[in-house]
Amino acid sequence: MAVDMVHAGWGDASRRTGLPVSAASWLEGQVGRGAPSTPVPLDAVTVPASRLTPDDLAALRATGARVEVDDTSRARHAAGRSYQDLLALRSGAFPAPDAVVLPDRDQVGAVLRSCAALGLAVVPFGGGTSVVGGVSPVAGPLRAVVALDLRRLDQLLALSEEDLTVVLEPGLRGPAAEALLNARGYTLGHFPQSYEHATIGGYAATRSAGQASTGYGRFDANVLGLTVQTPAGPLVLGRGAATAAGPSVLGLFLGSEGAFGVLTSVTLRIRRLPAVKRYDAWLVRSWEDGLAQLRRLEQEGRTPTVARLSDVDETTVSLRLSAPRPVQVLGRGRCLLVLGWEGAAVPARRSLKVRGLPLPGAGDSWEHGRYNGPYLRDDLMDAGFLVETLETSAPWSRLQEVHAAVRAALTEALGRCVVMCHVSHLYTQGASLYFTVLAGAADDPARQWQRAKDAACAALVASGATITHHHAVGTDHRPWMTDEVGPLGVAVLRAVKGVLDPTGVLNPGKLIPAED
């Protein structure tokens, strides 16, 4: 059975190993350190009283769905897992939904109709892993808000070996979905860092990209069909192997973050389990050289399944935290490149023609620790450090410019800090950039990070990069959506929402900018 995430941190508490004293000391010398942070225990948390009336609760229960109003359930659905979310959760006092509603697949439509009639906001809730405010309990102009927990929608509904497709319910977590498929000899090939807790519905609703998406494709590229419940009625989308039947209505729901409807099943492309996997690593001479090598691999059609290039700062910190001293010395001024291949066969090492110093075993070490980053963040926050991420994508011709602009914006906003970056998703025309920021936590760390995030987003917009490659929009990126799609594009999104959700109950305050 899946383990729920700890209240004010990431994942399973037993997975944490602690921050090495030497690493903490080195980081303090680089960026300073704030006061240590200790989360308030869940049983000492204070949540506001529910605003729901007895009549509201009776109407919700009449749908047949389970309804929970206890403080613990509400607190567990109060936030995602961004740095700002964790600061709020650690404080012990934060907004919370007024109830948690847990329907089965046949009850979702009734719950939405009930909430629309009652004037209650509905926040769809999967694994709770959003890092952009996507599951924050925002009521907007409505009088109360419920979290719609989809964990009971956790079944494999159909699998076609002839078509290589599977139909999954949205509440399935990544590991559970993979286990069901692996038992039949298949895989989705989707492994984001949030894999242990994120869900199928969340992947689709945020247009997720996994660590192997260079080889398997982004999640949205693998969605072939959807069933959706909206306040205006149900939709069944996706026919044939491909279609030219007008603009993609199905596509409207990929990345819609629960603002247009609630997914109740997702039809996906599957692959046969790879017979062979191999992960190799090198130290390449520079960031520029590593980018050139990745572009060549991608554009020559020799793309690996996994491609990850760390800049000098990320390489330095990674080696400092995990590598023996001789490797740390060897890595000075260089960049770590990890390539992974999965399939019926993989290229022979002699045919790879990667320019760099091989690091035997480092690729396998990365693969074994690929989900550990969020646990390390908890340790860093405990020790008094600010640590947060942001991501984007840009064409190859502008990657270095965007990399430099975001680094400069963050450094100016934060002062003493380490700004790390890696490329982790390749496309013929460009790649993603994923930044991790470390600084000493200030007296008001929430304001400290918001100032830095605003500066970074402004730099992204000015440089022509996207405001998000795979973290979605939520509340955090909403102020920049007009820059992303233009005023007319925002008007289109508002029009779609007006048809599907005429009373505006679905995830208000997310995705679509407010009207002036």
Range 311-317 average pLDDT: 95
Per-residue confidence (pLDDT) for residue 353, from 0 to 100 = 82
Range 364-368 average pLDDT: 92
Judgement on whether residues 336 and 287 belong to the same structural domain of the protein: yes
For 132, the token pair is 């952009």
**H or E element at residue 309:** strand 306-310
Distance from chain centroid for Cα 55 = 37
Confidence of residue 350 (pLDDT cuts 50, 70, 90): low
- Residue percentage of the chain with pLDDT more than 70: 99
User: Distances in Å between the alpha carbon of 372 and those of 151, 366, 369?
Assistant: 24, 10, 5
- What's the pLDDT tens digit per position in 4-33? 899 999 998 888 888 888 888 989 999 999
Confidence of residue 331 (pLDDT cuts 50, 70, 90): confident
Q: Tell me, what CATH number does 208's domain have? A: 3.30.465.10
Judged against a pLDDT cut of 80, whether residue 429 lies above it is answered with yes
Confidence of residue 347 (pLDDT cuts 50, 70, 90): confident
Residue that is last in its domain, among 119, 149, 179: 149
Judgement on whether residues 73 and 61 belong to the same structural domain of the protein: yes
Judgement on whether residues 400 and 321 belong to the same structural domain of the protein: yes
Judged against a pLDDT cut of 80, whether residue 470 lies above it is answered with yes
Per-residue confidence (pLDDT) for residue 501, from 0 to 100 = 98
pTM: 0.96
Closest CA to 96 of 152, 150, 42: 42
Judgement on whether residues 320 and 442 belong to the same structural domain of the protein: yes
Residue that is last in its domain, among 149, 164, 198: 149
- What's the pLDDT tens digit per position in 210-228? 999 999 999 999 999 999 9
Instruction: Give a yes or no: residue 166 inside a domain.
Output: yes
- What's the pLDDT tens digit per position in 251-285? 999 999 999 999 999 999 999 999 999 999 999 99
Per-residue confidence (pLDDT) for residue 17, from 0 to 100 = 83
- As a 3-state breakdown, the chain gives helix, strand, coil percent values, each rounded to 5, of 35, 20, 40
Confidence of residue 320 (pLDDT cuts 50, 70, 90): confident
Whole-number Å distance between alpha carbons of 320 and 339: 21
Confidence of residue 351 (pLDDT cuts 50, 70, 90): low
Judgement on whether residues 264 and 280 belong to the same structural domain of the protein: no
**Residue 369 DSSP one-character state:** T
Q: Tell me, what CATH number does 458's domain have? A: 3.40.462.40
Judged against a pLDDT cut of 90, whether residue 171 lies above it is answered with yes
* Lowest-confidence region among 118-127, 198-207, 297-306, 389-398: 297-306
Burial letters for 212-248: b for 16+ Cβ neighbours within 10 Å, e otherwise? bbbbbbbbbebbbbbbbbbbbeebebbeeeeeeeeee
Judgement on whether residues 268 and 280 belong to the same structural domain of the protein: no
Judgement on whether residues 444 and 302 belong to the same structural domain of the protein: yes
Instruction: Give a yes or no: residue 351 inside a domain.
Output: yes
Per-residue confidence (pLDDT) for residue 154, from 0 to 100 = 98
Domains in the chain, number: 3
Judgement on whether residues 81 and 175 belong to the same structural domain of the protein: no
Judgement on whether residues 366 and 282 belong to the same structural domain of the protein: yes
The tokens 């008094």 sit on which residue?
Answer: 384
Whole-number Å distance between alpha carbons of 218 and 245: 23
Contact partners, residue 146, CB within 8 Å, separation at least 6: 52, 60, 97, 98, 99, 100, 101, 115, 120, 121, 122, 123
**H or E element at residue 297:** helix 287-299
DSSP assignment string, 14-50 = GG-----HHHHHHHHHHH-------PPPGGG-B-PPP
Per-residue confidence (pLDDT) for residue 322, from 0 to 100 = 77
Instruction: Give a yes or no: residue 28 inside a domain.
Output: no
Whole-number Å distance between alpha carbons of 277 and 406: 34
Judgement on whether residues 422 and 293 belong to the same structural domain of the protein: yes
Instruction: Give a yes or no: residue 359 inside a domain.
Output: yes
Instruction: Give a yes or no: residue 472 inside a domain.
Output: no
Judged against a pLDDT cut of 60, whether residue 1 lies above it is answered with no
Range 35-49 average pLDDT: 93
Range 101-112 average pLDDT: 98
Range 461-466 average pLDDT: 98
Query: 501 or 353: whose pLDDT is higher?
Result: 501
Whole-number Å distance between alpha carbons of 342 and 334: 26
Q: Tell me, what CATH number does 69's domain have? A: 3.30.43.10
CA contacts within 13 A on the Cβ side of 153: 32
Instruction: Give a yes or no: residue 20 inside a domain.
Output: no
Judged against a pLDDT cut of 90, whether residue 82 lies above it is answered with yes
Range 275-301 average pLDDT: 96
Instruction: Give a yes or no: residue 343 inside a domain.
Output: yes
- What's the pLDDT tens digit per position in 53-75? 999 999 999 999 999 999 999 99
Instruction: Give a yes or no: residue 144 inside a domain.
Output: yes
- Show the domain range for 372: 276-463
Confidence of residue 396 (pLDDT cuts 50, 70, 90): very high
Judgement on whether residues 142 and 169 belong to the same structural domain of the protein: no
Judged against a pLDDT cut of 90, whether residue 76 lies above it is answered with yes
Judgement on whether residues 312 and 358 belong to the same structural domain of the protein: yes
Range 136-165 average pLDDT: 98
